[in-house]
Amino acid sequence: MSNKDIAAFEYHLGYTFKNKKVLIEALTHRSFYHENPNKAENYNERLEFLGDSVLGFVMVEALFLSERRLSESVMAKTKSYLVKESILSEIANAIALGTYLRLGKGEEATGGRTKRSLLADAVEAVLGAVYLDGGYEKSQELILRLFKEKIDAIISSGEFHDFKTELQEKTQMLFSVIPEYQMIRQEGEEHRKTFTVEVHIAGDMFGTGCGKSKKEAETIAAREALKKLQE
């Protein structure tokens, strides 16, 4: 990476590294490492493992210290929601992370810069790099800044709620059956697909959901079905 690219990414991230090598490692995918052994000493999977733990602890600490005095179950659901792939990939996009990744030619050709799983892993690697470079307080400060809006929005809206589990429990109690989810449509390019799902209970359609993943679509359909059951 050029000094210009490093400085540009640090600007987007809002953190300046003392050790630029740890940042470069965090931005290096294994595909680049294997294709360019003379240009990369390491790739980012070890940092990803570290960053995952740092992120998880910062989230749990923040939720525990929240003025709302959240219950254990709410903290667990909220933390699980905040560290999932779709949220991390949104954080990656907010800091233009995909632009600065070092990818192999094959990964580049298959849209690696926009793959949610790859972006999510790279976010964790960068957080691990910040922890190594600046310590816990700097990584905590960065994480809380990057995730603040999402933490506040999720706690206030309850989007972490497990609608599918609640629907299953309710349908078993009311009808002695479990919900059936049916994929009715997939649209869009390979890495930008949208999924439409219907949920049926005892043969009747109770809800429809559309999302960027099958799981998201099923969750929205389950939420709609619960509303219908309550009515």
Tell me which of 48, 52, 107, 133 is the catalytic residue: 52
Q: Go through the chain and tell me how many residues it has.
A: 231
- 111 sits in which H/E element: none
Given its phi and psi angles, is residue 196 left (phi above 0), alpha (psi -120 to 50 degrees) or beta? Answer: beta
How many Cα atoms occupy the beta-carbon half-sphere of 120 within 13 Å?
Answer: 12
Backbone phi and psi for residue 207, each to the nearest 5 degrees, phi listed first: -170, 155
Give yes or no: 124 in active site: yes
> CB–CB of 97/113 below 8 Å?
no
Q: Given 48, 107, 124, 133, which residue is catalytic?
A: 124
Q: Which residue has the tokens 């995952």?
A: 52
Report CA-CA distances (Å) from 104 to 35, 40, 65, 146, 182: 6, 11, 42, 28, 37
Q: Is residue 218 flagged as an active site residue?
A: no
Instruction: Extract the tokens encoding 57.
Output: 């602890």
Report the catalytic residues: 52, 124
